[in-house]
Amino acid sequence: MNPRLTALVRGAAPLIAIAALAVLLLVVAPATLSSFRLNNLGKYICWAIAAVGIGLAWGRGGMLVMGQGVFFGLGGYAMAMHLKLEAAGPEGIPDFMTLYGNGTMPGFWEPFRSGAFTLVAILVLPAVAATILGWAIFKRRVKGAYFAILTQALAVVFATLLIATIQETGGFNGLNQFTSFFGYNLYDPVNKRMVYSIAAGLLIACLLVVWQLYRSRFGELLVATRDAEERVRFLGHDPANIKLVAFVVAAMMASVGGAMFAPIAGIISPSDVDATASIFLIAGVALGGRALLLGPALGALTVGYGRTTLSETFPTQWTYFLGLLFVVVILLLPRGVGDLPRTLRSALKRSTA
C-alpha cells in the first residue's frame, strides 16, 4: 500500500473509533434500549466524561487525581441548583429550605436562576477551583503520592461540607425532585432521550478535545513532564503550568459529567461525589487503559454497566469485584485492558526474538 495512505489511515484511526462510538451511543443505543436502560447508560456516560479528564491528568500527566468527585459535584450541584430553582418557579425557593431552614434562600443561589449563568458556572467554577488548588500544590512542587492524598482528602472534606450545610445544599439528602430541564419536562420519555443524547454528544466532544490535545505540542510536553519533570524544567518549561492546564481541563470535564448526571439520575447527593465515588471514577480509567484515547471512557462505561448488572444479581459481591478489579488490573495490566493487544504483541515479539 502507498505509505502516505497508510499514514493517513493510521492518523485517522482514532477519529474513526470516536465516530464508531458516536454512532453506537447516539444511534444504536436509543433505538434498541428501553427508556430505563437508556437512562442508566446516560449515567455511565456522565462517569465516562469525567473519566476522559482523569485519563488526561493521570494517564498522560501522571497526576493521580483521587478527588475528581469534587469537580463532578461542583458541576452537578450547579446544575441541580438551577433545576431546583426551575422547579420552584420564578420567585419561588427550593422546598428543602423551608423544611430544614428558615425559608430564606442563601444569596449564592440567586444567580443560578439564570440558565446561561449556570452553564457558564459549570465550566468556570471547577476551572477556578482547580486553578487555585493546582497552583498551590504544583508551584510548591508537591507531587506523586502527596498530591493523590491531598486530592482524596479534598473529596472527603467536600462531602463533609455538603452534609453539614443542610440548609444551603440539602445536606445528606442532596438535591432532587427536578421537574424540567431548561423548560423541557424531565418525565417525558422524549425529553429524557434528548438529555441522554446531549450527554452522549458531550462525551464525544470531550474525546475530540483530548484527541486534539494529545496530538498537540502540549500533549507531548505533558507526557514529558510525567516521565521526567526535571528535564522538562531544564529545557526551560515550567512543569507546574503544564500540569495545571491538564488538571484544570480534567476538572472541567468532571464538572460537565456531573452537570449531566443531575438531570439524568434525577438526584445529586454527597454519596455521588465523595471519596468512594471518586475512586469509582478511577476504576474505569484503570480498567480501560489510562493513557489511551478511548480507554478511560470505555472503561468507565464498562464499570458503570458492571455496577448495575452485578448489583442486580449479586448485591453484596459487587464491592469485591470493584476491589479485585483494582488489584488485578493494576498489578497485572497496568496499562489497562485496552492495551492488552499491544502488551501481548510485545510479549510475543520478545519470546520469538
Is residue 116 near other proteins by the rule CB under 8 A? no
Q: Which one of 9, 16, 103, 227 is in contact with other proteins (CB under 8 A)? A: 103
- Return the range that interacts with other proteins (CB under 8 A); candidates 48-56, 98-106, 114-122, 236-244: 98-106
**Helix or strand or coil: residue 2?**
coil
d(CA 61, CA 78): 27
272 binds other proteins (CB under 8 A): yes
Indicate which single residue of 6, 110, 334, 346 sits in contact with other proteins (rule: CB under 8 A): 334
Site for other proteins in 143-162 (CB under 8 A): 144-146, 148-150, 152-154, 156-157, 160-161
For position 311 contacting other proteins by CB under 8 A, the verdict is yes
Q: Which stretch binds other proteins (CB under 8 A): 35-43, 76-84, 115-123, 249-257?
A: 35-43
Count residues binding other proteins (CB under 8 A).
Answer: 95
Among 282, 293, 303, 337, binds other proteins (CB under 8 A): 282
**Among 17, 128, 176, 237, which residue sits at the site for other proteins (rule: CB under 8 A)?**
176
List the one residue from 6, 177, 309, 346 that touches other proteins (CB under 8 A). 177
Q: What CA–CA distances, in Å, run from 128 to 132, 213, 218, 249, 335?
A: 6, 21, 21, 11, 31
In angstroms, the CA 295 to CA 52 distance is: 8
Min dist. Cβ of residue 109 to other proteins (A)? 17
Q: Which three cell numbers stand for residue 35?
A: 427508556
Q: Which DSSP string do the residues of 52-68 spell out, in sequence order?
A: HHHIIIIIIT------H
Q: At 142, is the secondary structure helix, strand, or coil? A: coil
Using rule CB under 8 A, residue 6 touches other proteins: no
Which residue has cell 425559608? Answer: 103
Residue entry with cell 480509567 = 285
Listed residue (104, 250, 73) closest to 174, CA to CA: 73
Does position 168 bind other proteins by CB under 8 A? Answer: no
